[in-house]
Structure 1
Amino acid sequence: MQERKFAIQKATRYFRARRAATPGDGMRIVITGKGGVGKTTTCAILSSLFAEGGLQVLAVDEDPQQNLAFSLGYPPERASVIVPLAKNASYIEEKVGVPSGAGRGGMLRLNPQVSDVVDRFGITIDDHISLLVMGSVTAAAGGCLCPENALLGSVLRYIRLRRNEVILMDTQAGVEHFGRAMSAGFSQAVVVTEPSFNAYSVAEHSASLARELGIRHVHLVVNKVRSEADIRKTERLSGGGVRFTSVHYIPYNEEIIESEPDVRSIVLGRSENPVAESLRDLCLDICAASEKSERDIISRPS
């Protein structure tokens, strides 16, 4: 545990030093997968692990279930009344110029200025983690020019321009939403699955889309692994399919169930937890992929 913890701290110190010397984009990671496989739990634990290494983290909740605040340990009585940006009628009208729910028509500001969004609506979890609850427009068709989508599109573009921090976005379940507007500007994806055919099929589809949309580094997290048979099954399902930057098998762990909704306790606690240890390895692979991308950019012919 200590060796991996120190390795993350070393990697993140290097990351901060590079950012100080040559300020840049930071790490932008989108987390996707089938519903119920543990996307939100993974996002919360990764946020805590990067924060443990001293990095500033912006966790973005795009899932309409809005469970990320609970998983990050925000008080339940306050988390349950958070209004996502997609339903913040006054902010939508202020920025877009058309009331929420107006649908098509009207003079929308398609690129509203939203640089105040994190300062106004970001939730401080601790000294290193902030949370932005976006929500999603679940009833809107693809490309709908409604006020809600105009606002969320601008917020996504602004988030991608923020610098010198780790941005982790927990997306809604499935792949229907996973398009260019969602993924553009994100350099890495974490695809979460379980050792089942249905979950892995969604994961492989998500990974293929991520590659097509220009996300170079796609990491696979196989969650809730109970046996070597689960690992062999996943390897069999993945035979000849998408090639991932890294693959991580996360053991099924009762402590996760017992600690819900605040799963950060498995990172912050003193005892070693196998889920946290496995995800520490993922953090190291994300840091390594980020460093490789920087080297490729620097060495690319102009």
Structure 2
Amino acid sequence: MNVKKQYEVLEWAFSFLRNHNREEKVAEILLQHHLKMSRAAFFANMREDISTAIVEQFASDIKKHALTGVPVQHLTGYELFYGRKYIVNEHVLIPRFETEELVEHVISLVNKYYQGRQLFIADIGTGSGVIAITLALELPNVTVYATDISEKALKVAKKNANVHHASVQFLKGDFLQPVIDSSVNPQIIISNPPYISVEERDSLADTVGEFDPDLALFADNNGLAAYKKIITQLKEIPPTESRRICFEIGYTQSLAITNMLKLAFEAASVKTIKDMNGLDRIISAHIN
């Protein structure tokens, strides 16, 4: 590629991505990353020359993404979540915007029902740690615990907590089990567990199905196994005043998970919340 000006490099990348049925916006994200520019500076410098070294690095990443489907976040090494930059790699699920809505819901619950109280929150299956870290940073008087069965995921989560100077207690184990073993009694339990059926693997984009860890994506029993496990484990924790559980869910799973919660906790008040696209995305339950 002989082009040197920023807009020319970008036009080449747009064309290459289009020809491989990839999203053009990836080019802007990657070039801004390689140039180490703010968004404003990036668009203000379209007619500036780019060094050959940067052009070659950028072109290599564009080709990797276009030809293999490797997510742009794995090429840059980070993703934004709730206005902060988080380390991501092949060991953790890349954060999605819908999960910000789950976090926002929990923040609203805390502000409405637990204002000024000392509060314990458990994030189950934390992955990169974005949920736990965001809650720890956004909420005062809150102690946040985060669990994951993957040592490699916990390593990433701990790095992210250190980067953002967030106080989170990380526990290794299967869903709620380390919380139970540590005699922690959280008032709020939040989780974005694996909820995709294994049978749906072939329908996923290659950027997801071939690069996000299976452990974070897939669950047995039509994607419901993780919810069943967490709800079963929840019965082992001593009751506490006003406990709430908030799940991110697949858009077809609301009824099944609502029934699981009501079967386990007869007095539970359960509601489903739609995401910005109008799809069922959050289960919010008051279980005692």
Q: Which has the larger radius of gyration?
A: 2
Instruction: Quickly name the TM-score band, shorter chain normalised.
Output: 0.3 to 0.5
